[in-house]
């Protein structure tokens, strides 16, 4: 067995870009559909797996929102979240900051309290049984209005202490970050850390707007920034992390193949770049598989793998003491390996 592959599997890492409603494994999706009397447009889990072929972000989102229909009750949110955390723990994820987008579910009549309490229940149990650290990011939809995002913000306030950040995802073009400048200003004024998907399918200017107009703490994806050298310099100078999802980018046709993925260029430029899985069953790769494929294709050395894992912990929204403890754990792992 290649030593660097073992090193990747075992290194403590944080996952900062993963959507709870995007991690329903096909078997679990069918179990939940049956439990809730929801009919799915696929005959079997295998047929669903066969449908995982995407032309672009929108074609993926169509399938993703279809799959969301099986999440109805508190127990469903618990089950999908807990299953992911077990799987992530096996990849030596020590910190998981997970997105969920409540607007999808609220509009179908799912009580927000069931959604949030289901997820938080799984967080609590996984923290206790697996020792994994967790954080919840509430994701808003950019294809909806700013007023909708502000409404959601009011609705989640009772759980403010349990929410580490507010994010934004969904169809990127033609919804520039600047459309939500007021929303993000309100989030910041209320003490939330913020992040936004930008520069996935959208242009580098969307990343610039996220930094300059929204003043977010992290950019999700962000790979389009490379076409703007001044913007890259700004990301480096201000140490604004990018949560990059390499296999997702290939599966959605954002980059033609992994061997031309800009991850290595971003790393070499000094950007605080991290590796993440986005929606692992849909793209066929959890976080270690993302690391392994990048290592094999982009010829990452121990030094780069360590930098990527270190960045993930540095870029997390953890309190300073816990962050330092996890970085020490990472250093101890590297020294021992
Ligand atoms: N981009 C935008 N929205 C999303 C994604 C993504 O990669 N995954 C889940 N929702
Ligand atoms: Zn995403």
Strand order across the beta sheet in which 13-15 lies:
13-15, 93-100, 133-141, 163-169, 193-198, 218-221, 242-244, 273-275
Indicate left, alpha or beta for 278 from its phi (over 0: left) and psi (-120 to 50: alpha): left
Gap from CA of 304 to ligand 2 centroid (Å): 23
Residue to probe by mutation, ligand 1, list 18, 170, 198, most atoms within 8 Å of CB: 170
- The tens-digit pLDDT sequence of the chain (337 residues) is 599 999 999 999 999 999 999 999 999 999 999 999 999 999 999 999 999 999 999 999 999 999 999 999 999 999 999 999 999 999 999 999 999 999 999 999 999 999 999 999 999 999 999 999 999 999 999 999 999 999 999 999 999 999 999 999 999 999 999 999 999 999 999 999 999 999 999 999 999 999 999 999 999 999 999 999 999 999 999 999 999 999 999 999 999 999 999 999 999 999 999 999 999 999 999 999 999 999 999 999 999 999 999 999 999 999 999 999 999 999 999 999 9
The active-site residue out of 127, 200, 289, 336 is 200
Domain spans of the chain, in order of start: 2-336
Q: Is the CB of 280 under 6 A from ligand 1?
A: no
Q: What whole-number distance in Å separates Cα of residue 245 and Cα of residue 193? A: 21
The answer to whether the CB of 222 is under 6 A from ligand 1 is no
What is the rounded distance in angstroms from the CA atom of residue 208 to the CA atom of residue 53?
31
Q: Which ligand is nearest to the CA of 220?
A: 2
Give the C-alpha separation, 300 to 241, whole Å. 19
Structure tokens at 20: 């709870």
Give residue 63's pLDDT: 97
User: Is the C-beta atom of 279 inside 6 A of ligand 1?
Assistant: yes
Q: Spelled out in words, what is the top-level CATH class assigned to the domain 2-336?
A: alpha beta
Contacts of 195 (CB under 8 A, 6+ apart): 137, 165, 166, 167, 168, 216, 217, 218, 219, 220, 243
C-beta of residue 270 within 8 angstroms of C-beta of residue 241: no
Query: Using a 6 Å cutoff on CB, does residue 101 contact ligand 1?
Result: no
Query: According to the model, what pLDDT value does residue 133 have?
Result: 98
Within its chain, how far is the Cα of 3 from the centroid? 28
Would the CB of 170 count as within 6 Å of ligand 1?
Answer: yes
Assess whether the C-beta atom of 67 lies below 6 angstroms from ligand 1: no
The ligand that comes nearest to the alpha carbon of residue 252 is 1
Helix/strand/coil (H/E/C) assignment for every residue in 93-161: EEEEEEEECCHHHHCCCCCHHHHHHHHHHHHHHHHHHHCCEEEEEEEEECCCCHHHHHHHHHHHHHHHH
pLDDT score recorded for residue 183: 98
Contact yes or no for 65/73 (Cβ under 8 A): no
φ, ψ of residue 261 in degrees (nearest 5):
-70, 140
197 is in an annotated binding site: yes
Please indicate whether residue 200 is annotated as part of the active site: yes
Distance of alpha carbon 301 from alpha carbon 279, whole angstroms? 26
Q: What is the pTM of this model?
A: 0.98
Mutate to test the pocket of ligand 1, among 15, 17, 18, 19 (most ligand atoms within 8 A of CB): 19
Q: Which of 226, 271, 245 is nearest to 169 (CA)?
A: 245
Q: Cα of 18 to ligand 2 centre, how many Å? A: 6
Mutate to test the pocket of ligand 1, among 59, 278, 282, 285 (most ligand atoms within 8 A of CB): 278
CA quadruple 179, 181, 187, 193: dihedral sign: positive
**pLDDT of res. 1:** 54
> 149 near 179, Cβ under 8 Å?
no
Task: Assess whether the C-beta atom of 169 lies below 6 angstroms from ligand 1.
Answer: yes
Determine which residue's CA is closest to atom 7 belonging to ligand 1: 278
CA geometry: angle 276, 281, 287, nearest 5 deg: 25
Length of the chain: 337
Among the bound ligands, name the one nearest to the CA of residue 277.
2
């Amino acid at each position: 067995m290649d030593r660097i592959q073992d090193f990747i599997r075992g290194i403590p890492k944080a996952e900062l870009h993963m959507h709870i409603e995007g991690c329903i494994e096909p078997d679990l999706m069918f179990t939940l559909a049956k439990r809730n009397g929801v009919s799915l447009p696929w005959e079997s889990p295998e047929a669903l797996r066969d449908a995982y072929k995407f032309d672009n972000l929108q074609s993926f989102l169509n399938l993703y929102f279809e799959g969301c229909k099986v999440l109805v009750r508190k127990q469903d949110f618990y089950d999908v979240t807990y299953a992911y955390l077990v799987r992530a723990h096996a990849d030596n994820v020590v910190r998981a900051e997970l997105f969920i987008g409540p607007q999808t579910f609220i509009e179908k009549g799912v009580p927000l309290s069931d959604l949030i309490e289901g997820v938080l229940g799984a967080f609590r149990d996984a923290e206790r049984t697996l020792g994994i650290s967790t954080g919840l990011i509430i994701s808003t939809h950019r294809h909806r209005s700013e007023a909708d995002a502000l409404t959601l913000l009011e609705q989640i306030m009772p759980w403010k202490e349990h929410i580490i950040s507010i994010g934004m995802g969904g169809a990127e073009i033609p919804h520039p970050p600047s459309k939500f400048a007021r929303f993000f200003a309100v989030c910041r004024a209320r003490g939330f850390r913020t992040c936004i998907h930008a520069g996935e399918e959208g242009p580098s200017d969307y990343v610039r707007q996220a930094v300059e107009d929204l003043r977010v703490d992290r950019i999700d994806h962000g790979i389009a920034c490379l076409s703007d050298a001044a913007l890259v310099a700004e990301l480096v100078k201000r140490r604004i992390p990018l949560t990059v999802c390499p296999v997702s980018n290939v599966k959605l046709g954002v980059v033609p193949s992994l061997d031309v993925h800009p991850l290595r260029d971003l790393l070499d430029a000094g950007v605080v770049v991290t590796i993440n899985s986005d929606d692992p069953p849909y793209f066929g790769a959890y976080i270690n598989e993302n690391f392994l494929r990048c290592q094999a294709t982009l010829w990452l050395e121990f030094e780069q793998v360590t930098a990527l894992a270190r960045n993930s912990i540095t870029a997390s929204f953890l309190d300073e003491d816990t962050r330092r403890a996890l970085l020490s754990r990472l250093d101890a792992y590297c020294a021992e390996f």
